[in-house]
Amino acid sequence: MNYQLSCPCLFGLESVLADEIRAIGGESLQITDGRVTFTGDARMIVKANLWLRTAERVQILLGSYPASTFEELFEGMHRLPLERFIGPKDAFPVKGWSLNSTLTSIPSCQSILKKAAVKRLNEKYHITWFEESGPARQLQFAILKNQASIFIDTTGAGLHKRGYRPKANEAPIKETLAAGILQLARVQEDTNLIDPFCGSGTFLIEGAMLAMKMAPGMGRSFVCETWEELEGVSLRSLFSEERSAASQQAVKEGSFTAQGYDIDPNAVELTLQNAQRAGVSQFVKAEQRDIADFQTDLSKAVIVCNPPYGERLLDMIKVEKLYQTMGKVFIQRKFLKYYIISANEDFEKLFGLGADKRRKLYNGMIRCQLYMYFKGGVPLHKKALENLYTARRKKG
Ligand SMILES: C[S@@+](CC[C@H](N)C(=O)[O-])C[C@H]1O[C@@H](n2cnc3c(N)ncnc32)[C@H](O)[C@@H]1O
C-alpha cells in the first residue's frame, strides 16, 4: 500500500531534505515552502523516521481540499477515509495552524475538525462515545491560503529530538538545521570538521553521524511504534528490521575527525558528554579555547559554526569585535572551507571577506544567512559591486 507522505522542514532546507528523501527511495516528490511531499509504503514511513536528518516529522497526508468556510472545513474532513488509520479505541486529538486564510481561529478549526472526524468514525463504527483509550493518531491540519491539508503524525516528539542532547548550552542550534548545513558543506567520511564555537557540540555530533552514515533516529522511539498496525502491517516489526539494517550500514572506522573549541569550559564538558550519549565520542574532541587563539595544522578542514549573534546592544559591540577576530584568524587560513551561520547582516563587512555563496536559512524564527567560503572568498570591493549589480538586475 502506498501513501502520500509529507515532511515539514525549516525554510531554506527543502532541497537538502528532498535529496535525503530520494536517497532512501521516496518517489514523486513535490517541494513546497517548508515541506516535501512524496510517496512511499509502510516501510518508507519507518525509514523516513529513522533516517531523515533535516525533516521535522513524518506525516501521512490524508487529503487536501479548499476550505474558506467552517462548512467546507467540516465536509472535507468528513469525506476522508479516517477509519483506514483510526481504530474504534484509538485516540485522535486534533491540532494545527492557519496562515493567510479566512479561517483564523485555531480553536474553532480544531473543534470543527474533531466533530467531523467523530461523525465519520461514528458512521463507520456505529459508536457514539469514543473512549480514545488507545495509542494516539494525532490529526494535524494546515490551512494555507484557504486550502486545508489533513495529516496523521507518525513521529511524536519532533525529529530534532535525537536523544543525545538532554541539556544544551545557551542558544544551541537545532539538530535538523545543523544537519542541513553539514550536508551543504559536504561533510563526509574523510572530513576534518572543526567548530570553534561548539557550545553543546551539535555540529560535531551531527557531523560524525552524517560522515559515519549513522541513522539519526537510532537513539529514540516514534509514536507509530505504539500503533497496533497500519492497515494490517506491523510497524513495530518493520522498525526492528530497519534498525538492524541501519546498524549494519553504519561505517565503523574512517578518517573523519571532529574538533570543537569553546571559551566556556562547561560547553566543552557538555560537548564531550553529548558526544558520548550519541555514540560518537571516538571521533569528537573538544577543548577550551578563545577564538582569538584559533589554530590548526590541518591543510584540509571544514569549519562549521554559529557564533553568537548578539541581540542586545552591549552584546552587539562584543559580537562585532568577535567577527573581526574571526576574520583575522580565519582569513590567514583561506585554503580551509568555512560555513558560518549568522543573523547579523553586516557579517561579511566585519569578517573582512565576502562569501563565495550565501543561503537564506531560518534558525527557528530568526532569519539568518549561511555564509559559505569554499573558494577563498570574494574581496569586499568586488562583493560590493556584485551586490550593486544584483540590486540593479532585480530593479530591472
Ligand atoms: C550560539 S552558541 C553555539 C551553539 C552551538 N552550535 C550548539 O549547538 O550548542 C555560541 C558559543 O560561542 C561561545 N563563545 C562566545 N565567545 C567565544 C569566544 N571568544 N571564543 C570561543 N567561543 C566563544 C559561547 O560560549 C557559546 O557556546
For ligand 1, whether the C-beta of 308 sits within 6 Å is yes
Q: Tell the residue nearest (CA) to atom 23 of ligand 1.
A: 263
Which helix (H) or strand (E) segment holds residue 101: the answer is none
Residues 287 and 225: their CA atoms lie apart, in Å, by 39
For ligand 1, whether the C-beta of 199 sits within 6 Å is yes
Residues 354 and 376: their CA atoms lie apart, in Å, by 9
pLDDT band at 58; cut points 50, 70, 90: very high
Is residue 240 domain-resident? no
Among 197, 323, 330, residue to substitute to test ligand 1 (most atoms within 8 Å of Cβ): 197
Q: Is the pLDDT of residue 331 over 80?
A: yes
Distance (Å) of CA 51 to CA 159, 250, 314, 325: 10, 12, 42, 38
Is residue 166 domain-resident? no
Q: Residues 353-367: what's their mean pLDDT?
A: 92
Q: Residues 199-222: what's their mean pLDDT?
A: 97
For ligand 1, whether the C-beta of 182 sits within 6 Å is no
pLDDT band at 314; cut points 50, 70, 90: low
Both 212 and 355 in one domain: the answer is yes
pLDDT band at 168; cut points 50, 70, 90: low
Both 206 and 270 in one domain: the answer is yes
Residues 342 and 362: their CA atoms lie apart, in Å, by 10
SS3 262: strand
**pLDDT score for 313:** 59
Residues 390 and 35: their CA atoms lie apart, in Å, by 28
Could you tell me the end-to-end alpha-carbon distance of the chain, in angstroms, rounded to an integer? 50
The Å distance, Cα 301 to ligand 1 centre, comes to 19
Is residue 16 domain-resident? yes
The Å distance, Cα 172 to ligand 1 centre, comes to 9
The Å distance, Cα 315 to ligand 1 centre, comes to 13
**pLDDT score for 90:** 94
Count of structural domains within the chain: 2
Is residue 303 domain-resident? yes
* Least-confidence region, from 94-103, 125-134, 167-176: 167-176
Q: Residues 125-129: what's their mean pLDDT?
A: 91
For ligand 1, whether the C-beta of 171 sits within 6 Å is yes
Both 35 and 136 in one domain: the answer is yes
Atom of ligand 1 nearest to the CA of 169: 9
Atom of ligand 1 nearest to the CA of 289: 21
**pLDDT score for 10:** 96
**pLDDT score for 106:** 97
What strand order describes the sheet that includes 147-153?
A: 27-32, 35-40, 3-8, 59-66, 147-153, 139-144, 94-99
Share of the chain above pLDDT 70, in %: 97
Q: Is the pLDDT of residue 213 over 90?
A: yes
Maximum distance among all alpha carbons in the chain? 74
For ligand 1, whether the C-beta of 363 sits within 6 Å is no
SS3 293: helix
The Å distance, Cα 357 to ligand 1 centre, comes to 23
Kindly report, residue by residue over 228-257, the tens digit of the pLDDT: 889 999 999 999 999 999 999 999 888 999
For ligand 1, whether the C-beta of 164 sits within 6 Å is no
Both 321 and 382 in one domain: the answer is yes
| Residue-number span of the structural domain to which 123 is assigned | 3-153
* Least-confidence region, from 74-78, 171-175, 281-285: 171-175
**pLDDT score for 109:** 98
For ligand 1, whether the C-beta of 350 sits within 6 Å is no
Tell me the three cell numbers of residue 186: 559536504
For ligand 1, whether the C-beta of 310 sits within 6 Å is no
Beta strand 94-99 pairing with 139-144: parallel
Arithmetic mean of pLDDT over the chain: 94
- Of 179, 199, 103, whose CA–CA distance to 144 is shortest? 103
pLDDT band at 384; cut points 50, 70, 90: confident
Both 186 and 115 in one domain: the answer is no
For ligand 1, whether the C-beta of 262 sits within 6 Å is yes
**pLDDT score for 312:** 64
* Least-confidence region, from 52-66, 202-216, 298-312: 298-312
**pLDDT score for 380:** 86
Q: Is the pLDDT of residue 291 over 80?
A: yes
For ligand 1, whether the C-beta of 319 sits within 6 Å is no
The Å distance, Cα 307 to ligand 1 centre, comes to 6
Is residue 15 domain-resident? yes
Q: Is the pLDDT of residue 189 over 80?
A: yes
- Of 14, 2, 341, 380, whose CA–CA distance to 172 is shortest? 341
Residues 65 and 77: their CA atoms lie apart, in Å, by 9
Is residue 373 domain-resident? yes
Both 125 and 266 in one domain: the answer is no
The Å distance, Cα 131 to ligand 1 centre, comes to 49
Alpha helices in the chain (DSSP H): 14-23, 42-51, 70-79, 106-125, 175-184, 202-211, 235-249, 265-278, 313-331, 347-351, 380-395
Q: Is the pLDDT of residue 124 over 90?
A: yes
- CATH at 362: 3.40.50.150
Kindly report, residue by residue over 252-286, the tens digit of the pLDDT: 888 999 999 999 999 999 999 999 999 999 999 99
**pLDDT score for 396:** 66
The Å distance, Cα 18 to ligand 1 centre, comes to 30
- CATH at 95: 3.30.2130.30
- Cα dihedral 333→337→340→346 (10° resolution): 60
Please tell me the pTM assigned to this model.
0.94
Residues 146 and 99: their CA atoms lie apart, in Å, by 8
**pLDDT score for 388:** 65
Is residue 181 domain-resident? yes
Q: Tell the residue nearest (CA) to atom 25 of ligand 1.
A: 264
Is residue 227 domain-resident? no
Q: Residues 101-119: what's their mean pLDDT?
A: 97
Both 149 and 181 in one domain: the answer is no
The Å distance, Cα 171 to ligand 1 centre, comes to 9
The Å distance, Cα 318 to ligand 1 centre, comes to 13
The Å distance, Cα 302 to ligand 1 centre, comes to 17
